Amino acid sequence: MSILRSQEGKGTVAVEKQTAKIPSIVYFAAGMIPLAASACLMHRKRPHAALAVGQWAAPLLIMGLYNKLVKTEGHD
């Protein structure tokens, strides 16, 4: 058992097991939808809403990247 494994909480391991079941394409789509919505809002002359919605993309794509790394490298 590695040092990192012993430092992880039971909650972290449980979350990683559940999120590993979600296909990576779901995270990718969840990141692309706010970008498209932001473009539509910007086109409709609502720049403040467009910027707010556009900021959702980065955390969703980062979660997808983390999910992919956990799947390929494991959480150990």
How confident is the prediction for the chain on average, in pLDDT? 85
pTM for the full model?
Answer: 0.71
Residues 6+ apart with CB under 8 A from 42: 50
Across 16-39, average pLDDT: 91
Burial zone of 43 (CB within 10 Å; 0-12 exposed, 13-18 middle, 19+ buried): exposed
Sketch the domain layout of the chain as residue ranges. Answer: 3-73
Say yes or no to pLDDT of 7 above 90. no
